């Protein structure tokens, strides 16, 4: 089982890097049915995915994309069985760069499982609700548990300092995600 931890912000000084590192650290060493759960950090910023300007509908593209950066993004997503999307909330919604990158692909997401870890002024809860609607279009199973980190109370600059209860919330989120991936498999 391979879980991609996607850093969904590309901004300078972003908090998502520390959140994703915390998720990866907390999830390290997890096993499912006696096998280690493989974790891969997927940093959206490293792919430099361009704006979706292509006339071809991604679902019809057969993974034949016009940009090498999109091919690399496609391969990274396709290699995973499930995802933890680490998402900020921007203007009461999802970050544009991650939405654009998600929109470039279709079969790579289809039918897979996802979990959402958010952060922001209102802990990113509005972004999570929007992601649930967006990911449903790909027939993805989005687990019920979420981890929502307060941008005011759980960060020191860009470094996450989660409240004590967050480790238990993340444990539940990962349990649900692994179960959803196992059911898909």
What residues does each domain of the chain span? 2-184
Task: State mean pLDDT over 45-66.
Answer: 96
Backbone angles phi, psi at 35, to 5 degrees: -115, 145
Cross-strand pairs, 32: 35
pLDDT tens, residue by residue, 80-122: 999 999 999 999 999 999 999 999 999 999 999 999 999 999 9
> What's the whole-number average pLDDT of the chain?
97
d(CA 40, CA 49): 19
At the topology level, CATH places domain 2-184 in Rossmann fold (3.40.50)
Average pLDDT over residues 130-137: 98
pLDDT of residue 26 exceeding 90, the answer is yes
Q: Dihedral (C-alpha) 7, 10, 14, 15: value to the nearest 10 degrees?
A: -20
User: Mean pLDDT across the stretch 159-181?
Assistant: 98
CA–CA distance, 9 with 86 (Å, rounded to integer): 8
Q: What percent of the chain has pLDDT over 90?
A: 96
Share of the chain above pLDDT 70, in %: 100
pLDDT of res. 20: 98
* Residue 7 pLDDT exceeds 90: yes
* The pLDDT of residue 139: 97
Model confidence at 185, in pLDDT bands (50, 70, 90)? confident
- Global pTM value: 0.96
């Amino acid at each position: 089982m391979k879980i991609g931890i996607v850093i969904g912000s590309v901004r300078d000084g972003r908090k998502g890097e520390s959140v994703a590192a915390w998720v990866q650290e907390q999830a390290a060493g997890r096993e499912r049915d006696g096998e280690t759960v493989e974790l891969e950090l997927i940093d959206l910023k490293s792919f430099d995915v361009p704006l979706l300007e292509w006339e071809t509908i991604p679902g019809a593209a057969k993974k034949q994309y016009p940009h090498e950066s999109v091919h690399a993004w496609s391969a990274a997503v396709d290699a995973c069985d499930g995802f933890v999307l680490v998402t900020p909330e921007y203007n009461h919604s999802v970050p544009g760069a991650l939405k654009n990158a998600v929109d470039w692909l279709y079969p790579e997401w289809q039918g897979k499982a996802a979990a959402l870890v958010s952060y922001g002024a209102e802990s990113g809860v509005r972004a999570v609700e929007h992601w649930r609607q967006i990911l449903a279009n790909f027939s993805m199973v989005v687990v019920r548990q979420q981890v929502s980190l307060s941008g005011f109370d759980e960060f020191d600059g860009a470094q996450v300092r989660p409240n004590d209860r967050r480790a238990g919330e993340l444990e539940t989120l990962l349990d649900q995600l692994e179960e959803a991936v196992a059911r898909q498999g």
